Structure 1
C-alpha cells in the first residue's frame, strides 16, 4: 500500500500471499547422477554460523575486507563481495590489466538507458509549466511508462504536490524527489543474503524463466562464496538444456566447485536428491541447484519444482533453505507475473535482478518491490563475475533517477 498521503484519494496495491500446496508422499527417486569428482574443499566456517553478503562502498572497494578462513571463523562472518579476478596474479611479462571501474559507476552506466529516458521525459513535462493537476497527471504517466509502478508514481507526485504545488519546478528537483521516493520503496527489500550454516549443506534453489540468467548467476554466486572461504557444490538441475549443463560445468571449473550432473532429459528431482548426497559426502557448506524454467507449460513446470522441493525435504525438512528467482529486467511488466508464478510454486524468498544494462525498463525492479515485498539480494549489470553485487536501495535509486 502507498506509504504517503497525497492531496487526493488514490487506489492501494495489494500484497500477494504465497500459496504452497500440500505435499504428497514421494517415492525415493531411482535415478543416480554421474559420479562426483573429488575436489578438495576449502576451509569452511563452523556449523551454526551465518554468512552475510556485504556490498561495496561507493568507491568500489569492499566495505569490510574479505578475511581469510581462520579470521572469518573467529569473527563469525565472511565478507564475500570481492571479485575472483582481483586475486588472480598475472605473469610478469603480461601487460597490467586496466583497473575496473567502481561499482556505482558501472551501475550508473548500466542504468543509463533507463535514467536518460526518464530524465528526457520529465524535462518535457516541466518545460515552462507550473506544478498543477495537469502537470502531475503528465508526470504520473511518465513514471508509469517507465515501469516504476502505480505506488511509486503516486509517492513521487504526492511528495511534489505537498510542498511545490502552484510553483515552478525544475526537472532536477523532480529527479531528486524521485530518487528519495524510490529509495523509500526499495529500502525494506534491500537485504543481505544470509546463509545459516547450521544446515550443511545450505541448499540454494535457483528458479526463473529460461533466458533470465539463472546459470550465469549461479556461477557468479559460487565465485563469491568460494572466495569468501565457503565450499560449494553445484547441481545441474536444468536437465532439459545441454547448454545449461555445460555452462555450469565451466563455472565449476572456474570456481573449483564440483558439479553433479546427469544425462540430458534425466529426472530433475532425482538429480537434486543425488546432488544433496554428494554435497553432504564432500562436506560442502553450500549446494546451489539450477532448475528448468519452461513457463510455456506451467503445469509441468509446477509439478517438477514441487517434486524437487519434496525430494530435498527427505534429506532436510527445511530444504531448500533459500529459493532465489532470477528476473530479467528486459521483460518489463511480464516480470511481475513471473515472480507471482514462481513464488506460488517454489516458495521464492529472494530475488536477483539481471540484465539491467540491456534495457530502458530498469524501473520494473521498483514495481516488483512495491507489489511483492520480496528481498532483493543481488543485481547484475554485466557478464563479468563482479558485475553481480549485493543490492543497495540508495545506489539504485540515485542511478535510475540520474542524480549524484
Structure 2
C-alpha cells in the first residue's frame, strides 16, 4: 500500500516537471527579448483648483485704448462696372436765313405758273381779245382757286386797262398782270409773325388746323424760322391725341436747341399749353409755340376744346398769334375749314402748306378774302427750311415767270 502511494506521488511529480518545461518553452517563443529603453510615464492631467487651493494669476501690464493699434481698413476691391453708353446729344443745326427765302424757293412755284401766271399771259397775248377769250381768262382764275368775286374784279380791271393800253407787247402785258395780281393779293397787310408781347412774358403763338395739313411739321419748321431770326423758342406739345405727335415735335425742337414741354398721351391739352407758357416765362424765352391737335371741323366738341386751350393760355397773357395751317391742295374745302376755325378762335394769320405741289396758287387770294387776315407763311417743299415768310412781290414774280 505504501509502495502504491509512493508510486503515485512520483508520477505526479514527474508530470508537473514535464508541464513546467513545456510552459517555459512556449513563453520564450511568444515574448522575444527587447532591447532595454527608458520607460515613458504619462502624468494624469492636473485637475483645476478653486478657492484657497487655486493658483494666483500672474499680473500682466495692460494697454490703454489709445495704445491699441487697430489694423487699417482696406476698401474692398470692386470689379469695374461698365458705364452705360449715353447717347450723344443731337448736333444743333443753324437754320437757313429767312430773308429772301421765298426768292430762293421760286422754282418750287413752277407748277403754279402753268395754271395761273403763264396761262393768263398766253391768253392776254392773243391779237383779238373777244368774249370767248375773256371767258377763258375767267375760267383760268377760277381753276386756280382765286375765288368768284376776286376773279370778277380782276377780269373787269384787265378789260379796262387793256383797252387803254392799246398795243400789247409781252413786257407791257407782264407788267400789267403783275400789278393787278399784286393789287388782288394785297401789299398793305402786316405779314410779320408777331413774337413780342409787349409785357414781361414771351410772345405766344398757337398753331391750329385740321388733320393732314402738316400742322406739327409746320410748327417745327416755324421754330426754325424764329431761331434763324435770333429768337429763343419753347415748344408746347399740346397735340395729345395723335400718337407720336409730341415725339415728332420734340425732334424738331432738339435740332435747333429748343426745349419741348409735353405731357402723357391723351392728357389735357389745355394743361400742357399752360405749362409751356409757364416754362417759357421761367426760362426767359422769346417765343412759346403751341402745337394743338388736328381737329376735324365737323367735331363740335373738339372745336370747343380748342377754345378752352385758348382761354387757359390767356391766363398768362394775350395770345400774340393764332396761325391757321391750310393745305393749299384742298382748294375751296380749305375755305370751309377756315370759316369754322375763325368762329372758334381769332385767326391772325394763315400758313399755306404744299403750295409747291399745286397749280392753284390763287388760294392765297381766296383765303385772305374769306378771313380778312394775311397769308404770313408758305410751305414750298419737304425740306426743314422750306417754310418761307410770304412776300407778295416774290410770289407774283414766281407765278408769272421771266
Q: Provide the TM-score with structure 1 as the length reference.
A: 0.69
Aligned to 2:32: none
- After superposition, the CA RMSD in angstroms is 2.8
1:339 aligns with 2:338: yes
Measured in 2, the distance between the counterparts of 1:304 and 1:105 equals 39
Measured in 1, the distance between the counterparts of 2:172 and 2:363 equals 22
Q: 1:310 to 1:193 in 2, by over 3 A?
A: same
**1:161 aligns with one of 135, 159, 162:** 159
1:251 aligns with 2:264: no
Aligned to 1:196: 196
Equivalence map 1:1-400=2 (5 Å): 84-85=94-95, 103-104=101-102, 106-118=104-116, 121-122=119-120, 125=123, 130-165=128-163, 174-186=173-185, 187-189=187-189, 191-199=191-199, 200-295=201-296, 297-316=298-317, 318=318, 320-400=319-399
- Aligned with 2:244: secondary structure? helix
Q: 1:174 to 1:344 in 2, by over 3 A?
A: farther
Higher relative contact order (CA 8 A, sep 6+): 1
Aligned to 2:11: none
Aligned to 2:7: none
- Aligned with 1:344: secondary structure? helix
TM-fit CA distance, 1:132: 3.0
TM-fit CA distance, 1:395: 1.0
TM-fit CA distance, 1:403: 3.2
Aligned to 2:72: none
Measured in 1, the distance between the counterparts of 2:194 and 2:275 equals 25
Contact in 2 for aligned 1:131/1:165 (Cα 8 Å): no
Measured in 2, the distance between the counterparts of 1:370 and 1:170 equals 32
- Aligned with 1:262: secondary structure? coil
The aligned length equals 308
Measured in 2, the distance between the counterparts of 1:366 and 1:394 equals 14
TM-fit CA distance, 1:289: 0.5
Measured in 2, the distance between the counterparts of 1:233 and 1:364 equals 31
Q: 1:229 to 1:160 in 2, by over 3 A?
A: closer
Unaligned 5+ residue runs, structure 1?
Answer: 1-38, 40-82, 88-99
Q: Which has the larger radius of gyration?
A: 2
TM-fit CA distance, 1:361: 1.4
TM-fit CA distance, 1:106: 4.3
Measured in 1, the distance between the counterparts of 2:203 and 2:397 equals 34
- Aligned with 1:229: secondary structure? coil
TM-fit CA distance, 1:170: 7.0
Measured in 1, the distance between the counterparts of 2:126 and 2:95 equals 50
- Aligned with 1:152: secondary structure? helix
Q: 1:329 to 1:281 in 2, by over 3 A?
A: same
Q: 1:155 to 1:403 in 2, by over 3 A?
A: farther
Aligned to 1:45: none
Q: Deviations over 1:187-220 (max 9, x none)?
A: 1335222322433122110001122122122212
Contact in 2 for aligned 1:330/1:359 (Cα 8 Å): yes
Q: 1:213 to 1:282 in 2, by over 3 A?
A: same
367-376 vs 286-295, which deviates more?
A: 367-376
Contact in 1 for aligned 2:239/2:292 (Cα 8 Å): yes
Q: Provide the TM-score with structure 2 as the length reference.
A: 0.69
TM-fit CA distance, 1:241: 0.9
Q: Deviations over 1:93-141 (max 9, x none)?
A: xxxxxxx9x7455433221111112356446746855123332222112
Unaligned 5+ residue runs, structure 2?
Answer: 1-88
Aligned to 1:30: none
Measured in 2, the distance between the counterparts of 1:270 and 1:206 equals 16
Measured in 2, the distance between the counterparts of 1:305 and 1:353 equals 20
Q: Deviations over 1:345-391 (max 9, x none)?
A: 11111111111111111211111123322022211212223322221
Contact in 1 for aligned 2:349/2:376 (Cα 8 Å): yes
